[in-house]
Structure 1
Amino acid sequence: MPKTDYLDDPSAPKANSLVVGVTAFVQDDAGRVLLIERGDNGLWALPGGGQEVGESTPAAAVRETLEETGVEVEITGLVGIYSHPGHVIAYDDGEVRQEFSICLRARPVSGELATSDESTQVHWVEPAALDGLAMHPRMRVRVDDGLRADPQPYLG
């Protein structure tokens, strides 16, 4: 479903929904970060998506990561909760979501990199190479918070 992201834009439509989203910050033993190039907007992102009814947040992050990357992960902690009311996502069907995403820390346990309906590329990315990737600013905050490995999660 086509979408438009707005960040602190006074002309953005008003949010009319809030959906639990999850992302997984996955690092391998070499310190590389698992990223996808999204099929809907061409931007690089952590794997993730919507939590389904009857599913726990950690289970949603594991499922979404496997679906989008081919990598099975184990959740190891919390990077943060991201709910900036100035970030809204407008969909063609009239839904306008306020950002609400829980980013969990994870480690890979098995699998091989593979694309999906939602990812056009999947890569392990060296932290030094992140600046060369097109990434939404709010996603970059999550990646940077994950790299900091702060024992206190981001709450905002």
Structure 2
Amino acid sequence: MDKPANKVLYLNQTYLDPGEKYLAREFWGGQHYWILQGQITLPELPPHGVCLLAIRPLRTHRPIYAGSNLHISQGLEVSEWKSDETSLQFRLERPGQADGMIDLLLPKPPRMAACDNDDLRWQTLEENYYQLSVKIKESAWISIHW
């Protein structure tokens, strides 16, 4: 009988350096995970289920695009990315209209966020990890200041 099971992904079985720290975001459910010791345990995967992760090197001193539900790649929708010590600007592009969520790891809490010059709301998921709700038509310019 097939039952849900925890699965472990060992980084030494991939092309990722198991000595590095990573941030992982799951596409279907949007959960995020910290990979700090060379492995990640994925809880309760259904029988024959799939977990699609975007895994990014953890660099806390600069912004990280953790992923989104706008494109299965969790990154192909980002066509431009600029950041400095106090801000981040990036462009999202995809065909048609889309409402979605993007997850970001920022060096400091945001003071202001905008999508094409309209105020953008964010939710704090945990320290320095934020989720923004976006609506785009073909493309959108996102600007965040901290």
The reply to whether TM is greater than 0.5 is no
Which gives a bigger RCO, structure 1 or 2 (Cα 8 Å, sep 6+)?
1
Max radius of gyration: which structure?
Answer: 2
